[in-house]
Structure 1
């Protein structure tokens, strides 16, 4: 069975998504019902919702919406990685509020959509250190040229588990393997980071990517992090741009050809269960 650690849901009638205007292919409703129908056919048994960069005023409403969906009969939803703004003075109070909710498993602040110096601010870094001792994870969604900033955050809070999204967002279409490879190797040296095998079809040629295009990125990621530190995510509905959920599951299975059953189980479920204490 598969635990999907990276599902995005979009309900435009309930929440505001400012970035959708610049992404017409995703400017639509992507509902839990639509996702779960396909997910159940693929053996996906549990899901974590990943924040979708909603308007700041909707951050708490997004978490509440997903939690309400999780209460429906036979829901696959087991928790959320909530949005946050560590650069804001109100983060400390927000953190304490979310800590009281066991449905919240961690946080994410997408850093490649803001100026590079946001993560270098004193308040941002102070607030990242506040995660120490909470058991909450922090997802890093950054571009290859921001690797040094990622390393700085990892070193700030060595007891916090950080999750590197989408294999570090490589530029597969632009053949950016060399510069990406070096950064991934450096980040993998930190014991407090895990890597998410997710999203990479969206970084290739959306219409013409092949298994061979993705192999070097997958193999280097697993080669540096190992199966004990890797988890799987769909990045739905972004994955629909490069073939869809079923295609990505099948592609992952193909990339895992020759791996042991134990290695596959770690990637697809065991590691996620351990990190987020999922049933």
Structure 2
């Protein structure tokens, strides 16, 4: 089963500035495309969408423009700032590149009120005009923010990153499970099966992740889920890209070939218009 990775981070410190990497010593180094695909290709990952890596704002457009020149990068999700008055100017420039498929504003470290302002929401409503989606990066306790955005911008396609970031090592399945059902009531929200190994202790297995992945698929359905590696962030807790791919395949092993194809590449091709 071939895979389209919808959440690859490439890191080029010689080209761009990543302020947050100073607090992430395990991955604070170059992570180039060649090293990723050396491991990814044998796993069946044939191409990837690059997810913005929270560079300084002045590097945001250049980052996406650069990664689109790299081999096997099928598209990019660019950084954006919907809280700014010049947001439409930002997305007009981004839309000049056919392979920029969506945008993201990291919200899990921002004040809750940032994404709920009238300006932020009105700016998001322009995204369909430019054929762009919006990736939601929220903590489990913030999922109500995403539900509000989806309701107030119903024509925007939202993709919820990292299964909504369940607190696997802490609270566990609840109250995340109920909050996920609430955001899934909005038909314009999709879910990305990615990033949950970041919330596990080292030594996690497919069985550690199974109840979370299965709940996401059950809640959103096979037509509204995509798969992402979150590489290299997903290596912080000791696992590898190979570990995560193998675990994901094991969790859905009993699903039909059609259902597996939807998760691993077909939905992503439709949702991100690859």
| Bin for the TM-score computed over the shorter chain | over 0.9
Question: Counterpart of 1:232?
Answer: 227
Q: Does 1:158 align with 2:154?
A: yes
Q: Does 1:129 align with 2:117?
A: no
TM alignment of 1:176-255, pairs within 5 A? 176-205=172-201, 207-242=202-237, 243-255=239-251
Contact 1:236 1:245 in 2 (8 A): yes
Unmatched 5+ stretches in structure 2: none
Q: What whole-Å deviation, never above 9, does each CA across 1:209-228 have from its counterpart, x for those lacking one?
A: 22222111111111110111
Question: Counterpart of 1:111?
Answer: 107
Contact 2:137 2:162 in 1 (8 A): yes
Shift of 1:149: 1.0
Provide the TM-score with structure 2 as the length reference: 0.96
Q: Using the alignment, how far apart are the partners of 1:262 and 1:17 within structure 2?
A: 39
Shift of 1:176: 2.6
Contact 1:135 1:160 in 2 (8 A): no
Q: Using the alignment, how far apart are the partners of 1:112 and 1:199 within structure 2?
A: 13
Q: Using the alignment, how far apart are the partners of 1:83 and 1:203 within structure 2?
A: 24
Question: Counterpart of 2:15?
Answer: 14
Q: SS state of the match for residue 130, structure 2? A: coil
Q: Using the alignment, how far apart are the partners of 2:129 and 2:85 within structure 1?
A: 20
Shift of 1:23: 1.1
Give me the CA root mean square deviation: 1.1
TM alignment of 1:25-174, pairs within 5 A? 25-69=26-70, 75-174=71-170
Q: What whole-Å deviation, never above 9, does each CA across 1:200-259 have from its counterpart, x for those lacking one?
A: 111111x13222221111111111101111000000001222411111100001101211
Contact 2:121 2:153 in 1 (8 A): no
Question: Counterpart of 1:257?
Answer: 253
Of 246, 263, 267, the match for 1:271 = 267
Q: SS state of the match for residue 101, structure 2? A: strand
Q: What whole-Å deviation, never above 9, does each CA across 1:27-71 have from its counterpart, x for those lacking one?
A: 1111111101111111111210000000011101101210222xx
Q: Answer with 131-140 or 15-24: which moved more.
A: 131-140
Unmatched 5+ stretches in structure 1: 70-74
Q: Using the alignment, how far apart are the partners of 2:61 and 2:217 within structure 1?
A: 35
Q: Using the alignment, how far apart are the partners of 2:216 and 2:103 within structure 1?
A: 23
Shift of 1:133: 3.3
Q: SS state of the match for residue 3, structure 1? A: strand
Q: Using the alignment, how far apart are the partners of 1:212 and 1:42 within structure 2?
A: 20
Q: SS state of the match for residue 202, structure 1? A: helix
Q: Using the alignment, how far apart are the partners of 2:39 and 2:205 within structure 1?
A: 22
Q: What whole-Å deviation, never above 9, does each CA across 1:79-114 have from its counterpart, x for those lacking one?
A: 100000111122111111112210110000110111
